A and B are shown apart, each in its own frame.
Chain A
Amino acid sequence: MAFLHGASATHSGPKSGLKSRSYTPYLLLAPGLIWLITFFIIPIFSLASTSTMVRPEGAQIGTYVQELRFQNYVDAFVANQEQYVRSFVYAGIATILALAIAYPLAYMIAFKSGKYRNILLVLVVAPFFTSFLLRTVAWTQILGDEGPVVSALKLLPFFDDSIRLTATPFAVVSGLTYNFLPFMTLPLYASLERIDPRTLEAAGDLYANGFTTFRKVTVPLSMPGVVAGTLLTFIPAAGDYVNAALLGNPNTKMIGNVIESRFFAVVDYPTAAALSFTLMATILILVTLYIRRSGTDELV
């Protein structure tokens, strides 16, 4: 294993640890990168190719012919624009809610947790050791008509007996918010934890009160975490369909649900492919714009 170490005859200075051996890095990279190219990049092209296919008249369900029909995209989008918009709206709301809930939590762990810090970090992640689906199903039952929450709400004067929480947009967004909370909390924590408390003391020394310090020092310094957390929440949320399926109704369908059903229920691969591709492209554009505005250099 002549390649898996970091020293000797370096040509880039004593501290960098980088070597200039000619071929070993390529050997190391090859298997993993080939796997990614074969099972990530090529499938994307497959998807693109499927998206322009057409089912010939009278042909069996599931058979398609490549005709480069870019009209598929327009058709797919027009037929499903409601779900599209809804996906981004739900994901956006969930992201904002997650940020609102996670920020004080992350702040508390970073600055006010003392010796319990590691325990609290474990506790933030621990609920997510149970299966994602079990958690979401649990919410269906907790928020269900027979469940404790609805029963309690019925006791309050402003809600009548027809109140229900499941199969509502409220439930879907709640589910999204809940399920992606650790993806928001951990990057926020990492960013806040990096702030030298002496910076905050210095602000106080320079006449800033608590709130001003927070607004003008803490928040800007935590922006990398906010950006990372927002991306890590928004991107998967926009494409999610489990929350919508379990906690929603036919009117809360997100684009993920449509894609899933077009693959399995109504067999219409080109539409499904076109929708997936559009989703990916939209997210890439939004993410690029977002990153350019807030400016982060290191994502990986």
Chain B
Amino acid sequence: MTTVAAPMPSLSHRASRWFSRNLIRIYASLAFIYLFIPVAYTFAFSFNDAGKSNLVWQGFTLDNWKNPCGAPQVCTAVANSIQIGVISTVIATLLGTMIAFALGRHKFRGRTSTNLLIFLPMATPEVVLGASLLAMFLNLRINPGFWTIVIAHVMFCISFVVVTVKARIASLDPRLEQAAMDLYANERETFRFVTLPLVMPGIAGAALLAFSLSFDDFIITNFNSGIESTFPKFVYVSAARGIPAQANVIGSAMFFIALIIVIVGQVVSRQRKKS
């Protein structure tokens, strides 16, 4: 009686099994490629030797990267966006962090209303936020400009800061602060030596989030900026005749800077956990 060995699965059979097991990974790769198409395009065209109209590929050059302020108004717009971003971030982070501490560490009446007030701006379309703010400025005969942009940006960033910092505070064990007081730290010292250092990563994350929301904002800014220029506004306005390649340079540079910050942040927090 001879035993018969099981037949070797055919190549196509093995291939189809591998396929169905990895189907989702293949799909994910395609999805990632899809996500990066416009980024890659933007990056590629930052090297275009295009002059004013960056619509058709005309040749490779590093000039745009060497001279990112070559096209007029690009750098003014970027500088404005950065200034607005920094100021808005500082104010929004401060106000939002204070609210987060109130919500996360204190009892008070009106908690539900506060939560609602924080939530509503995040749930309102930007058109409505921008239009209503503009309506108020118009009714008060205030001309939109640099500071109205800052006001608007702080307004919509506060909620995001609150949510981010509040989450971080919630993960903070209150017994750590009790231990600090047990070890002779008064309220001020407890905050300075225990609470603040432990909440700081959340505050930093919130600040980064606020800055990127501010820098990238278009709709609300467009309604409340008057003649003031910001980077997104600049891109929108020059879209018809072709954005200068320098704008691509700025966009790509932002991408890489942000990517580096995030990666460094990840590495640092992983290091912190190890050591």
Asked if B66 lies at the interface with its beta carbon under 8 angstroms from chain A, I say no
Asked if A142 lies at the interface with its beta carbon under 8 angstroms from chain B, I say yes
Please, which residue of chain A has its CB at the minimum distance from the CB of B215?
A131
With A7-B181, A127-B36, A132-B216 as contacts: A138 and B132 at CB distance below 8 Å: no
Q: Contact between A32 and B98 (Cβ–Cβ < 8 Å)?
A: yes
In the complex, A122→B178 CA distance in Å? 36
Please name 6 pairs of A and B residues whose Cβ atoms are closer than 8 Å in the assembled complex, sorted by A. Answer: A6-B105, A17-B174, A36-B158, A138-B38, A235-B124, A238-B125
- Which 6 pairs show the lowest CB-CB distances between chains A and B? A239-B125, A17-B174, A32-B95, A138-B38, A25-B106, A129-B258
In the complex, A141→B129 CA distance in Å? 30
Asked if A83 lies at the interface with its beta carbon under 8 angstroms from chain B, I say no
Q: Contact between B28 and A105 (Cβ–Cβ < 8 Å)?
A: yes
**Min CB–CB distance A20 → chain B (angstroms):** 5
Please, which residue of chain B has its CB at the minimum distance from the CB of A32?
B95
Q: Contact between A300 and B255 (Cβ–Cβ < 8 Å)?
A: no
**Min CB–CB distance A290 → chain B (angstroms):** 12
Asked if A12 lies at the interface with its beta carbon under 8 angstroms from chain B, I say yes
Asked if A216 lies at the interface with its beta carbon under 8 angstroms from chain B, I say no
Give which listed residue, B55, B56, B98, B138, contacts A269 with CB less than 8 A.
B138
Mark the stretch among A37-45, A152-160, A195-203 that contacts chain B: A37-45
Asked if A59 lies at the interface with its beta carbon under 8 angstroms from chain B, I say no
Asked if A219 lies at the interface with its beta carbon under 8 angstroms from chain B, I say no
CB-CB under 8 A from B118, the residues of chain A are: 36, 300
Asked if B8 lies at the interface with its beta carbon under 8 angstroms from chain A, I say no
Q: Contact between A105 and B31 (Cβ–Cβ < 8 Å)?
A: yes
Q: Contact between B223 and A37 (Cβ–Cβ < 8 Å)?
A: no
CB-CB under 8 A from A279, the residues of chain B are: 125, 127-128
Asked if B19 lies at the interface with its beta carbon under 8 angstroms from chain A, I say no
Q: Contact between B35 and A181 (Cβ–Cβ < 8 Å)?
A: yes
Tell me the residues in window 247-275 of chain B with beta carbons closer than 8 Å to chain A beta carbons: 247-248, 251-252, 254-255, 258-259, 262-263, 266
Q: Contact between A43 and B136 (Cβ–Cβ < 8 Å)?
A: yes
Q: Contact between B38 and A19 (Cβ–Cβ < 8 Å)?
A: no
Asked if A49 lies at the interface with its beta carbon under 8 angstroms from chain B, I say yes
In the complex, A146→B228 CA distance in Å? 33
B contact set with A: CB distance below 8 Å: 24-25, 27-28, 31-32, 34-39, 41-42, 45, 55-56, 94-96, 98-99, 101-102, 104-108, 114-115, 117-121, 123-129, 131-136, 138-139, 151-152, 154-155, 158, 162-163, 166, 172, 174-175, 177-178, 180-181, 187-188, 190-192, 194-196, 212, 215-216, 218-219, 222-223, 231-232, 235-236, 239, 243, 247-248, 251-252, 254-255, 258-259, 262-263, 266
Q: Contact between B24 and A108 (Cβ–Cβ < 8 Å)?
A: yes
Q: Contact between B259 and A273 (Cβ–Cβ < 8 Å)?
A: no
Give which listed residue, A16, A246, A272, A284, contacts B131 with CB less than 8 A.
A272
Tell me the residues in window 104-138 of chain A with beta carbons closer than 8 Å to chain B beta carbons: 104-105, 107-109, 112, 118, 120, 122-127, 129-138
**Min CB–CB distance B222 → chain A (angstroms):** 7
Q: Contact between A15 and B243 (Cβ–Cβ < 8 Å)?
A: no
CB-CB under 8 A from A245, the residues of chain B are: 236
Q: Contact between B123 and A7 (Cβ–Cβ < 8 Å)?
A: no
In the complex, A299→B31 CA distance in Å? 28
Asked if A221 lies at the interface with its beta carbon under 8 angstroms from chain B, I say no
**Min CB–CB distance A207 → chain B (angstroms):** 21
In the complex, A37→B120 CA distance in Å? 11
CB-CB under 8 A from B262, the residues of chain A are: 122, 125-126
In the complex, A284→B121 CA distance in Å? 12
In the complex, A134→B187 CA distance in Å? 48
CB-CB under 8 A from A37, the residues of chain B are: 117
CB-CB under 8 A from A35, the residues of chain B are: 95, 154-155, 158
Asked if A256 lies at the interface with its beta carbon under 8 angstroms from chain B, I say yes
Q: Contact between A280 and B191 (Cβ–Cβ < 8 Å)?
A: no
Asked if A220 lies at the interface with its beta carbon under 8 angstroms from chain B, I say no
Give which listed residue, B45, B55, B139, B235, contacts A131 with CB less than 8 A.
B235
Please, which residue of chain A has its CB at the minimum distance from the CB of B179?
A7
With A28-B106, A236-B126 as contacts: A7 and B24 at CB distance below 8 Å: no
In the complex, A191→B80 CA distance in Å? 38
Q: Contact between A36 and B42 (Cβ–Cβ < 8 Å)?
A: no
| Proximity bits, A236-249, B CB within 8 Å = 1, else 0 | 10111110011000
With A15-B174, A138-B42, A239-B126 as contacts: A131 and B121 at CB distance below 8 Å: no
In the complex, A138→B257 CA distance in Å? 20
Q: Contact between A4 and B235 (Cβ–Cβ < 8 Å)?
A: no
Q: Contact between B125 and A246 (Cβ–Cβ < 8 Å)?
A: no
With A19-B106, A133-B239, A239-B125 as contacts: A40 and B31 at CB distance below 8 Å: no
Please, which residue of chain A has its CB at the minimum distance from the CB of B177?
A7
In the complex, A14→B177 CA distance in Å? 11
With A32-B95, A131-B251 as contacts: A263 and B134 at CB distance below 8 Å: yes
Extra pairs beyond A112-B24, A127-B38, A178-B34 (19, CB < 8 Å): A3-B106, A5-B187, A6-B174, A7-B178, A16-B174, A24-B106, A29-B108, A31-B98, A36-B117, A44-B128, A46-B135, A126-B255, A133-B218, A142-B38, A246-B239, A273-B135, A279-B127, A299-B123, A300-B119
